């Protein structure tokens, strides 16, 4: 059992929770994720780690209440418990393996769209702790959906807030803001990390490919077991089959087949769609042993 120590509503239907999970807090790194279950029969919900406190033994998660399971999560309060919290899963961000000098040379920009701001934050915080100044764009449809702005301003050298409806900050989406920074404000970036809705990451990568800026994205497709065995999170990256839970969740955004990923996500939601995918993908449908039934 994993106790919820803190609950906060960051925006409409977007919640932050600090969960007591000492072993995960001790070994987790930016870029990794956990899978939580409310009870014995609950759905397994993958959530990228937003923060961790090794001394306090806590892990911070952020989620949006959109489906039945996340709506049940939203009803939990401090003092309640999760049945299971499994992690850390996936590979840490490749950036944390670099020296501060190497990171500074990259001239990093981080982009968080909507709830994707949450997994961007631990990476930006890591940079701050290691003396590396980075810029950050955080965007949402409107002002009331912007999250973690204050925390991000404490960690990043410059934070640019953008809203689709112009209710706060720059008027436009994150791509519009990126183009403005580069073309109108003279900003130069050597590498970008973009995390958010798949469609957002797709269009960021189309722009950065045109601009010649290497871009990392974090893929969070449907996951079931989180160990590479079920095949739910199968992706095509550079023409090769990859599984987000074990090979990622971070990938070279210029190599990800976003259109296939979005189509597959829709198909996987129905039994008929899953059957079609099993037939189409054959032996590559599953990860791990490849024949896990």
For the stretch 125-141, pLDDT in tens is 999 999 999 999 999 99
Contacts of 46 (CB under 8 A, 6+ apart): 33, 34, 35, 89, 220, 223, 226, 245
Give all strands of the β-sheet with 58-64 in edge-to-edge order. Answer: 51-53, 58-64, 14-20, 2-11, 81-82
Name the pairing type of β-strands 170-171 and 158-163: parallel
- Name the β-bridge partners of 240: 237
How would CATH label the architecture of 2-87?
Beta Barrel (2.40)
Neighbours of 266 (CB within 10 A): 9
Q: Is the pLDDT of residue 279 over 60?
A: no
| For the chain, domain boundaries | 2-87, 100-218, 221-293
pLDDT at 260 over 60: yes
Distance CA 9, CA 106 (A): 35
> What's residue 290's pLDDT?
40
Determine the pLDDT at residue 292: 41
* pLDDT tens digit sequence for 181-197: 999 999 999 999 999 99
Residue 199 has pLDDT above 80, yes or no: yes
Q: How many CB atoms lie within 10 A of CB 32?
A: 22
Q: Is the pLDDT of residue 40 over 60?
A: yes
- Predicted confidence (pLDDT) at residue 291 exceeds the cutoff of 70: no
- Percent of the chain's residues with pLDDT above 70: 87
Stretch 200-210: mean pLDDT: 96
The top-level CATH class assigned to 100-218 is: alpha beta
* 211-245 tens-digit pLDDT: 999 999 999 866 666 666 667 778 889 999 888 88
pLDDT (tens digit per residue) in 146-158: 999 999 999 999 9
Tell me what pLDDT residue 268 has: 53
Model confidence pLDDT, tens digit, residues 41-98:
878 888 989 999 999 999 999 999 888 888 999 999 999 999 999 989 999 999 999 9
Q: Is the pLDDT of residue 293 over 50?
A: no
* CA-based end-to-end distance of the chain: 29
- The predicted pLDDT at position 267 comes to 56
CB–CB of 10/62 below 8 Å?
Answer: yes
pLDDT given at position 68: 84
**What average pLDDT does the chain have?**
88
The structure tokens listed for 199 are 């469609």
Structure token digits, residue 24: 């995960």
**Do the domains 2-87 and 100-218 sit in the same CATH topology, yes or no?**
no
pLDDT at 108 over 90: yes
Yes or no: say if 59 and 18 are a contact pair by the CB < 8 Å rule: yes
């Amino acid at each position: 059992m994993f106790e919820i120590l803190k609950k906060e509503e960051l925006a409409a239907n977007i919640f932050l929770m600090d969960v007591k999970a000492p072993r995960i807090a001790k070994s987790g790194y930016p870029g990794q994720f956990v899978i939580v279950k409310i009870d014995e029969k609950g759905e397994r919900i993958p959530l990228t780690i937003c923060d961790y406190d090794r001394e306090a033994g806590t892990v911070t998660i952020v989620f949006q209440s959109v489906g039945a399971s996340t709506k049940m999560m939203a009803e939990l309060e401090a003092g309640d418990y999760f049945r299971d919290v499994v992690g850390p899963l996936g590979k840490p961000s490749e950036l944390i393996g670099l020296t501060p000098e190497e990171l500074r040379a990259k001239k990093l920009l981080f982009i968080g769209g909507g709830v994707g701001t949450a997994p961007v934050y631990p990476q930006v915080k890591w940079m701050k702790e290691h003396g590396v100044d980075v810029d950050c764009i955080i965007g949402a449809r409107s002002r009331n959906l912007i999250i973690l702005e204050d925390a991000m301003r404490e960690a990043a050298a410059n934070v640019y807030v953008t809203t689709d409806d112009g209710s706060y900050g720059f008027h436009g989406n994150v791509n519009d803001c990126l183009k403005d920074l580069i073309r109108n404000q003279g900003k130069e970036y050597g590498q970008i990390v973009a995390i958010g809705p798949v469609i957002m990451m797709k269009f960021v990568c189309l722009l950065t490919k045109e601009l010649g800026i290497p871009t990392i994205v974090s893929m969070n497709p449907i996951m079931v077991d989180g160990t590479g065995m079920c095949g739910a999170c199968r992706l095509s990256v550079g023409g090769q089959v990859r599984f987000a839970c074990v090979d990622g969740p971070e990938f070279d955004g210029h190599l990800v087949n976003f259109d296939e990923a979005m189509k597959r996500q829709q198909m996987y939601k129905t039994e008929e769609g899953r059957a079609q995918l099993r037939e189409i993908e054959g032996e590559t449908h599953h990860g791990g042993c490849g024949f896990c039934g």
